[in-house]
Amino acid sequence: MNKTLYLIFIFCSLFFPVESKADEFLRETNKRIISLNSLGADIVSRLDNDSLVGIPGSSLLKKDKKFSEKVIVSQGRMPPSLEIILKLKPSLVIGSEGFHDKILAKISDLNIETLKTNTNSISDLEILIKDLALYLNKNPESIQKNIKSCYFNTSKYRGSAVILASTKPLLSPNSNSWAGHLLDRFKFDNISKDLESKTEFRGYVNLSPEIIFKKNPSKIIVISFPGRDQNSLLANPILKKIIASNKNQIVNFNYYGLINPGTLETVNSACKKLSNI
């Protein structure tokens, strides 16, 4: 190497250093994740909260201080803001299949990685945890302990049951839903498990009062929705007629955990309650 080339090499090494393996690793592991659903946001925050940059405006997340500095990319029933999402320069955007298909397609067209979630069972949840842990180079076992109640006391037969997710219309989950899978997991004989879904809500069937009278489930699980008075639901004429005609055990459950997974905490709470019935 002649003297001139040597001086050029030294100059470039000082002012334009070659990226080391460590620098390359840090660059590759600098993840910026936006989750459009509360479950994805909760899992990512537990694995690596610094990697989570955007979240939905969920009431579940607003109660937790670790989300206080995260950017909210959606509010209520309004679709997520593509402008806000792009400003955050995400490396990955997580959304729910069937709910966020359009926005995820637009994001994918811009060469940003996306992940569609379709969590219909504990097995699906385990896979989601493992996939996100792998993406973040973290140990999935560190957070699976947060749903430990979902693994306890799952062999006891608990009799027949029906979930009333709505009374106008009367909707109940079959086995192709998160709620239906949880009933199966804890050995409830769900009276609507084999009925075909013909509603706009996948995994849910229109259930007539006559079917409930005929099947006479030992447990009627009534869902409490956010912002809705539980007493008003129990006062529904159809439900009152069913309760008056049969000696059923009425059990109240929150929407988050049994119908919508929500977060790992609400999932664990639902599993704990089901295991103790």
DSSP string, 232-257: HHHT-HHHHHHHHHS--EEEEEEHHH
Measured CA distances, 54 to 45, 67, 77, 175 (Å): 11, 9, 17, 33
Whether residue 198 is found in the same domain as residue 219: yes
Please determine, for residue 58, whether its predicted confidence score (pLDDT) is greater than 60. yes
Residues 124 and 166 in one domain: no
> Which residue matches tokens 């259930």?
207
CATH of residue 142:
3.40.50.1980
Closest C-alpha among 74, 99, 37, 54 to residue 262: 37
Category of 264 on φ-ψ map: left (φ > 0), alpha (ψ -120 to 50) or beta: alpha
Report yes or no on 207 lying in a domain: yes
Give the span between the Cα atoms of 192 and 204, in whole angstroms.
Answer: 9
The phi and psi torsions of 185 (rounded to 5 degrees) equal -60, -40
DSSP 3-state percent helix, strand, coil across the chain (nearest 5): 45, 20, 35
Weakest-pLDDT range from 5-14, 22-31, 232-241: 5-14
Average pLDDT, the chain: 86
Residue 5 inside a domain? The answer is no
Judge whether 175 lies within some domain.
yes
Tell me: do 160 and 107 sit in the same domain. no
Residue 248 lies in a domain: yes
Do residues 188 and 158 touch, judged by C-beta distance below 8 A?
yes
Q: For a pLDDT cut of 90, what percent of the chain falls above it?
A: 64
Residues 84 and 35 placed together within one structural domain of the fold: yes
CA distance 106 to 168: 35
Residue 4 belongs to some domain of the structure: no
Instruction: Name the residue with higher pLDDT: 16 or 177.
Output: 177
Same-domain status, 141 and 172: no
Identify whether residues 120 and 157 lie together within a single domain. Answer: no
Sign of the dihedral defined by the CA atoms of residues 177, 178, 184, 187, in that order: negative
pLDDT value at 168 more than 80:
no
46 falls within a domain: yes
Number of domains in the chain: 2
Q: Are residues 129 and 49 in the same domain?
A: yes
> What range does the domain containing 176 cover?
152-276
* Domain final position from 120, 146, 172: 146
DSSP letters spanning 15-29:
HSPPPPHHHHHHHHH
pLDDT in tens, 211-243: 888 888 999 998 988 765 555 556 667 667 766
pLDDT at site 20:
43
Token pair listed for 116:
């569609």
**End-of-domain residue from the set 127, 146, 165:** 146
Q: Of the segments 1-5, 21-25, 70-74, which one has the largest average pLDDT value?
A: 70-74
Whether 1 is covered by a domain: the verdict is no
Is there a single domain that holds both residue 237 and residue 159? yes
Q: Span 255-270, mean pLDDT?
A: 97
The predicted structure's pLDDT at residue 17: 44
In this model, does residue 90 exceed pLDDT 60? Answer: yes
Structure tokens at 56: 């939905």
The enclosing H or E element of 273 equals helix 264-276
- The answer to whether residues 56 and 135 belong to one domain is yes
Same domain, 168 and 116: no
Q: Do 267 and 163 lie in a common domain?
A: yes
Residues 173 and 244 in one domain: yes
- In DSSP terms, 220 is beta-bridged to 162, 250
| Position 2 in a domain | no
| Residue 10: band (very low, low, confident or very high) from pLDDT cuts 50, 70, 90 | very low
Handedness of CA 247, 239, 199, 259 (dihedral sign): negative
Point out the domain boundary residue: 146, 172, 196. 146
Are 235 and 13 spatial neighbours (Cβ–Cβ below 8 Å)?
A: no
